[in-house]
Structure 1
Amino acid sequence: MTLKSTITPLILICTTLCWGYPSNRKTYQGTKEVTFSSSDTKLVETFERSQKMALSYAHDGNDPVGYWYEAALPGRNAFCMRDASHQSIAAEMLGLSKHNFNMMKKFAKNISDSKDWCTFWEIDKDNNPCSADYLGDANFWYNLNANFDVIFACQRLYEWTGDERYLKDETLAKFFQLSVNEYVERWRLEPENILLRTQEMNIKPTSKGRWRGVRGLPSYVENYPGLTNSSDLVASLYGGFEAYSKMLATLGQKAESEKFHFQAEEYRRHLEEDWWNDENKTYHTFWTKDNQFADGEGLTYMLWFNAAQEKERIQGTIKKMMERKNWNIENISHFPLLWYRYNYTQKAYDILTTITSMHRFEYPEVSYGMIEGIVSGAMGIVPEASRKRVTTLPKIIGEHYLQIDNLPLLGGLISVRHDGNKATRFTNNTTDTLTWEAAYMGKVDELTVNGKKQKTKSRTDLMGNIISYIEVSVTPKMEVKVNIE
Structure 2
Amino acid sequence: MKRFLLACCLVSSSITALSQGAVFITTDTAVQQAYRWAAGMVQHYRGNPNDAVGPWYEAALPSRNAFCMRDVAHQTIGAAICGLDKENSNMLQAFAAHIDEKRDWCSYWEINKFGLPAPEDYRNDREFWYNLNANFDVMFACLKLYRWTGDQSYIQHPVFVRFFEKTVNEYIDQWVLQPDSLFTRPLHPNAPMPFNKQDYFHRCRGLASYVENVPDLKMGVDLIAAIYQGLSCYAAIQSLNGDTAKAALYQRKANQYREKIDAHWWNAADHRYYTWYNGAGQFGTGEGEMFLLWFDALKDTARSNQTMAHLLEGQWNVETTSYLPVICYRQGYWQQARNYILWLFNPATPRREYPEVSFGVVEGVIHGLMGIEPDAASQRITTLYRGNAADTAIVKGLKVLHTEITVTHTGKQSTFQHTGKQTLIWRAAFAGRHDRIMVGNTSREASFRTDNKGHTISFIDLKVPAGSIIKARIN
1:111 counterpart (96, 99, 103)? 99
Shift of residue 155, structure 1, vs aligned partner: 0.4
What secondary structure sits across from 2:310 in the alignment?
helix
In structure 2, distance between residues paired with 1:28 and 1:217: 42
What secondary structure sits across from 1:184 in the alignment?
helix
In structure 2, distance between residues paired with 1:346 and 1:140: 41
* Alpha carbons 1:310, 1:462 under 8 Å: kept: no
Q: Report what 1:100 is aligned to.
A: 88
1:382 counterpart (369, 373, 387)? 373
Taking only aligned residues, the RMSD between alpha carbons, in angstroms, comes to 1.5
Q: Report what 2:272 is aligned to.
A: 282
Q: Report what 2:244 is aligned to.
A: 254
1:335 counterpart (324, 329, 337)? 324
Q: Report what 1:235 is aligned to.
A: 225
* Alpha carbons 2:389, 2:410 under 8 Å: kept: no
The residue identity in structure 2 corresponding to 1:336 is P
What secondary structure sits across from 2:224 in the alignment?
helix
For residues 154-197 of structure 1, the C-alpha deviation after alignment (integer angstroms, 9 at most, x for no partner) is 00000001101011100110000000000000001111111111
In structure 1, distance between residues paired with 2:452 and 2:26: 29
Where structure 1 has 5 or more consecutive residues not aligned to the other structure, the ranges are 1-26
Alignment identity in percent? 38
The residue identity in structure 2 corresponding to 1:185 is D
Residue 64 to residue 30, structure 1, CA distance change in 2 (3 Å)? farther
What TM-score does the superposition give when structure 1 sets the normalisation length?
A: 0.92
Q: Report what 1:244 is aligned to.
A: 234
Q: Report what 2:467 is aligned to.
A: 477
The residue identity in structure 1 corresponding to 2:259 is R
For residues 305-340 of structure 1, the C-alpha deviation after alignment (integer angstroms, 9 at most, x for no partner) is 000121110111011112212x11101101111111
1:67 counterpart (55, 62, 72)? 55
Q: Which residues in structure 2 correspond to 1:167-206 (within 5 Å)?
A: 167-205=155-193
- Report how many aligned residue pairs link the two structures: 457
Residue 29 to residue 259, structure 1, CA distance change in 2 (3 Å)? farther
In structure 1, distance between residues paired with 2:17 and 2:355: 17
In structure 2, distance between residues paired with 1:463 and 1:38: 25
Shift of residue 28, structure 1, vs aligned partner: 11
Q: Which residues in structure 2 correspond to 1:407-418 (within 5 Å)?
A: 407-418=398-409
For residues 53-85 of structure 1, the C-alpha deviation after alignment (integer angstroms, 9 at most, x for no partner) is 011111241000000011001111000000000
In structure 2, distance between residues paired with 1:431 and 1:28: 24
In structure 1, distance between residues paired with 2:420 and 2:185: 49
Q: Report what 2:456 is aligned to.
A: 466
Relative to its length, the structure with more helix (as a share) is 2
Answering whether residue 258 of structure 2 is matched by residue 263 of structure 1, we say no
Q: Which residues in structure 2 correspond to 1:14-413 (within 5 Å)?
A: 31-205=19-193, 209-325=199-315, 327-357=316-346, 358-413=349-404
Shift of residue 356, structure 1, vs aligned partner: 1.8
In structure 2, distance between residues paired with 1:316 and 1:187: 32
Where structure 2 has 5 or more consecutive residues not aligned to the other structure, the ranges are 1-14
In structure 1, distance between residues paired with 2:277 and 2:343: 35
For residues 200-252 of structure 1, the C-alpha deviation after alignment (integer angstroms, 9 at most, x for no partner) is 11013366544111000111111111110011000101111111111111111
Q: Report what 2:415 is aligned to.
A: 425
In structure 2, distance between residues paired with 1:432 and 1:196: 53
For residues 426-455 of structure 1, the C-alpha deviation after alignment (integer angstroms, 9 at most, x for no partner) is 011222211000011221111111232111
What secondary structure sits across from 1:203 in the alignment?
coil
In structure 2, distance between residues paired with 1:344 and 1:204: 45
In structure 1, distance between residues paired with 2:227 and 2:165: 13
* Alpha carbons 1:30, 1:60 under 8 Å: kept: no
What secondary structure sits across from 2:288 in the alignment?
coil
What TM-score does the superposition give when structure 2 sets the normalisation length?
A: 0.94
The residue identity in structure 2 corresponding to 1:332 is T
Q: Judge which range, 441-450 or 198-207, deviates more.
A: 198-207
* Alpha carbons 2:332, 2:452 under 8 Å: kept: no
Q: Judge which range, 153-162 or 353-362, deviates more.
A: 353-362
In structure 2, distance between residues paired with 1:238 and 1:451: 46
Residue 433 to residue 319, structure 1, CA distance change in 2 (3 Å)? same
The residue identity in structure 2 corresponding to 1:301 is F
What secondary structure sits across from 1:63 in the alignment?
coil
Q: Judge which range, 290-299 or 350-359, deviates more.
A: 350-359
* Alpha carbons 2:18, 2:40 under 8 Å: kept: no
Residue 448 to residue 275, structure 1, CA distance change in 2 (3 Å)? same
The residue identity in structure 2 corresponding to 1:56 is H
Shift of residue 295, structure 1, vs aligned partner: 1.2
* Alpha carbons 1:220, 1:298 under 8 Å: kept: yes
The residue identity in structure 1 corresponding to 2:98 is N
Shift of residue 38, structure 1, vs aligned partner: 0.7
Residue 187 to residue 377, structure 1, CA distance change in 2 (3 Å)? same
